[in-house]
Chains A and B, each alone.
Chain A
Amino acid sequence: MADVALSKSGAPMRGLLFARRGRNRLDVTDWLTYGFLVLGLLIMFTPVAWVVLSSFKTQANLQEFPPSILPYSSETAVVEGFDQPLPLFDVTLKDGTKARLAQIRRVGRNAQMINPDNPGAGRVTVAVTDAVPVRKVRLATENYTNLVASSGQAMGRYVYNSLFITTVATIITLVMNSMAAFALSKYRFAGSNVALISILSTLMIPATVVLVPTYLIVAELGLVGNLWGVILPTVATPTGVFLLRQYMLTIPDELIEAARMDHASEWRIFFRIVLPLSSPALAVVAIFSILSRWNDFLLPLIVLNRREVYTLQLALNSFQSEFEVRYDLMLAMTTLTALPLACAFIFLQRYITTGIASTGIK
């Protein structure tokens, strides 16, 4: 902006960073801007961070209220004569001295404790109020290993189903949409307008409105409970055709004419010339497709009616109703489901935001 240019005098770097309205300080609107953005940062980011952090808490730690910010777990000690490791407590004894004891069991307001270093000294009865559990910050990675262990092969299957749907649907979408876009941008033929309009008119049809008949067609094709039943209804996206067509219109026709002179077939022209030149637009369509296929919920919910064909999203949803108490597993699974796209986002962030910006506006 112009106000940057006004602060050329003085320290250049500082001027560049803080220049506002020609004065070297932030004015009210800047403070408001930063205030809003930092508030936004907190509201947008902390919930997700909180879930990820919580997914590393032990079950006991998860049930605490008020919740602790960092994942803690109680320290335990293996004491001679006991099969299980016993939880450690810092205890204030009756004579005022402090000691670190292991708890054997709790009876009402009292607990039976034992000195882990000297089990032979016998049991001590301590009031619960005098004992504080010994805790340390520890990531309970067993939530993740338990999750994989408890669901076993099913987990791998959910990941596979989600990956399969996302990859196959995206590839078909790209091929189909770019072929149609090629026909609609590089040829003049009778009916091309009708074809374009009928494809774009589907923009007006919300997927939820045609839910029941889509299910019928999928059922007629014998694809209920089959991954292809979710892939096929979603592959022809009008926005993809529109976007690719707009992009292909900018590719000079002379290139194609020249290729025809060299006796290249139309298929070859499409594959070797038009497709590579459209790669930026293809990337945007691909990102959109990956995003929506990975996150799809309603259509899979209806079509994929057996556990073996569940996607990660469906598995996660059924998880929350089945294991309402197993928050440790659920949080781990939530984190795992969000992870692939979060990683993709970190790398593709710039591309996605500019890509959406350029497609949002006609």
Chain B
Amino acid sequence: MTGLQKILGIRRMPWVFLLPNLLAVLFFSLLPVAINVFYSVTGSDRLYPSERPFIGSGNYETLFDCTNYLDASTCSSDLFWRAVGNSLVFVPIQVICMIGVALLAAVCLNREIRGRGFFRAVFFFPVMLSPVVVALTWQWILQRNGALNGILTWLGLSPVNWLVFPNTAFFWSVFVTVWAHMGFYTIILLAGLQSIPRDVYEAAKMDSATNWRVFTRITLPLLKPVLLVVFVLCVIRSVQTFDELYVLTGGGPGSATMLIVQYIYEVGFAVQPRNFGLAAAASLLLGVVLLIFTGLQLRLSRNSQHG
């Protein structure tokens, strides 16, 4: 490196430091986006670009080929629309549950209570577990002879095949993903709560405001910027949910818990012949939706800062 500096001169050194990272970014982030656009307008099951014939908007037409958009079974790629439909239900429910529970946990952990550090660790613990471990853990609890049915039997109720019925499987998909990730958001919200100046609360106490009033009139407004960050992160990650559900339910029963990323994986990699073009088109659509969403959020947060 010292020799390099002698040859290049000190002015060019920053580029030497930047080069490895820029190369990696170029090859594994920026270039893939360009290739993805190319894939989405070409057909056949061949991987190499030179072997793929140009088909224009063919893949998008396949995705959007429906006689009735409200009924997935009338689409030629019905699985895609089922996955979209599932995601449209899954994402809002999961995000609301996630932020609600995480906020509640953060508010509780922000109080002067005993064992705060311990409880904080407990809520964060599942974030450390790998998605496969999370999924298998819950599968073990939810199976026909599992602990949950054991408790039900003990209470005199009859056991339920939790992951066999679409509705209960969907409920547990939301539950398990919230269980696994809420700790992350709790910690961020907790940091936000702790950055709220104490004297604001002192003043409220002087005016003998109720707890609820303090929460809605002081905590929530002051926490708004952090809540926005958490909201966006949460939506982006929720849309991309794959690992836990792939192992827990495999997208089933039927396709009741299949979300968009699993569709991309199945079409592009799991089902033969591999349809890279369709997978690329679907993932570009997903990317565009996420981009619009993040753009909206940026505008929103800018407005809220000025207003």
A residues near B (Cβ < 8 Å) are: 1-4, 17, 29-30, 33-34, 36-37, 40-41, 43-45, 47-48, 50-51, 54, 63-67, 175-177, 179-180, 182-184, 187, 189, 192, 195, 198-199, 202, 204-206, 208-217, 219, 232-236, 238, 241, 265-268, 270, 291, 294-295, 297-298, 301-302, 313, 316-317, 320, 327, 330-331, 334, 337-338, 341-342, 344-345, 349-350, 352-353, 356-358, 360-362
Q: Given A212-B280, A313-B130, do A183 and B30 touch, yes or no (CB 8 Å)?
A: no
Output the nearest chain A residue to B18 by Cβ-Cβ distance.
A183
Q: Which of A184, A270, A338, A362 contacts B129 (CB 8 A)?
A: A338
Residues of B within 8 A of A43 (CB): 179
Q: Which of B120-172 contact A (CB under 8 A)?
A: 120-133, 136-141, 145-147, 149-150, 153-154
Say whether B54 faces chain A, with CB atoms less than 8 Å apart. Answer: no
* Chain B, residue nearest A344 (CB): B128
Partner of B187, one of A265, A334, A356: A356
Interface contact B128-A204, CB-CB below 8 Å: no
A-B contact pairs, 15 of them (CB 8 A): A33-B111, A37-B105, A37-B119, A176-B21, A177-B21, A204-B291, A206-B290, A210-B33, A210-B283, A213-B32, A214-B28, A232-B28, A301-B265, A349-B121, A352-B124
Do the beta carbons of A233 and B119 come within 8 Å of each other? no
Q: Give the chain A neighbours of B150 by CB distance below 8 A.
A: 65-67
A29 to B213 CA separation, bound complex (whole angstroms): 13
Question: Given the interface contacts A66-B150, A232-B24, A302-B269, does A44 sit within 8 Å of B243 by beta carbon?
Answer: no
Among candidates A34, A179, A361, residue contacting B191 with C-beta atoms closer than 8 Å: A361
Q: Flag if B104 contacts A67 (CB, 8 Å).
A: no
Assembled-state Cα–Cα distance A189/B127 (Å)? 40
Taking chain B's interface residues, is the majority helix, strand, or loop, or is none over half, making it mixed?
helix
With beta carbons under 8 angstroms apart, the residue of B20, B47, B146 that contacts A179 is B20
B247 near A320 with CB under 8 A, answer yes
Residues of A within 8 A of B112 (CB): 1, 3-4
- Across the A-B interface, give the 3 residue pairs with the lowest CB-CB distance, nearest first: A360-B188, A357-B191, A267-B1
B14 in the interface (beta carbon within 8 A): yes
Please pick, from A48, A67, A265, the residue contacting B145 in the complex, using a CB distance under 8 A. A67
| Complex: A270 Cα to B205 Cα, angstroms | 51
Complex: how many Å from CA A281 to CA B111?
28
**Is B192 a contact partner of A183 (Cβ separation < 8 A)?**
no
| Nearest CB of chain B from residue A143's CB, rounded to whole Å | 14
Known contacts being A47-B138, A349-B121, is A208 close to B286, with CB within 8 Å?
yes
- A236→B29 contact, CB < 8 A: yes
CB–CB B30/A202 < 8 A? yes
Residues of B contacting A241 with CB < 8 Å?
21
Contact partner of A30 (CB less than 8 A), chosen from B113, B123, B149, B179, is B113
Please, which residue of chain B has its CB at the minimum distance from the CB of A291? B128
Whole-angstrom CA separation of A348 from B190 in the bound complex: 18
**How far does the alpha carbon of A42 sit from the alpha carbon of B307 in the complex, in Å?**
42
Q: Is B284 an interface residue, CB under 8 A from the partner?
A: yes
Residue from the list A208, A327, A331 in contact with B283, Cβ < 8 A? A208
Say yes or no for B200: interface residue by CB 8 A criterion: no
Taking the closest CB of chain B, its distance from the CB of A294, in whole angstroms, is 7
- 14 more A-B contacts (CB under 8 A) besides A210-B29, A338-B133? A2-B205, A44-B122, A44-B183, A177-B21, A184-B18, A208-B242, A209-B287, A210-B36, A211-B268, A213-B31, A213-B33, A214-B28, A342-B125, A361-B195
* A232: B residues at CB distance < 8 A: 24, 28
A270 to B246, CA, bound (A): 44
B202 interface residue (CB < 8 Å to A): yes
B229 touches A361 (CB 8 A): yes
Residues on A with C-beta less than 8 A from B24 are 176, 232, 235-236
Interface of A, secondary structure class, is helix
B25, A192: Cβ atoms under 8 Å? no
Enumerate chain B residues within 8 angstroms of A344, measured Cβ to Cβ. Answer: 128
A213–B247 CB distance below 8 A: no
- The answer for the CA separation of A48 and B176 in the assembled complex, in Å, is 13
Given A37-B113, A212-B36, A213-B36, A51 and B290 contact (CB-CB distance below 8 Å): no
Which one, A65, A177, A266, contacts B10 given CB within 8 A? Answer: A266
Given A187-B14, A341-B128, verify A206-B1 contact (CB < 8 Å).
no
- A210 and B129 contacting across the interface, CB-CB below 8 Å: no
Complex: how many Å from CA A293 to CA B88? 29
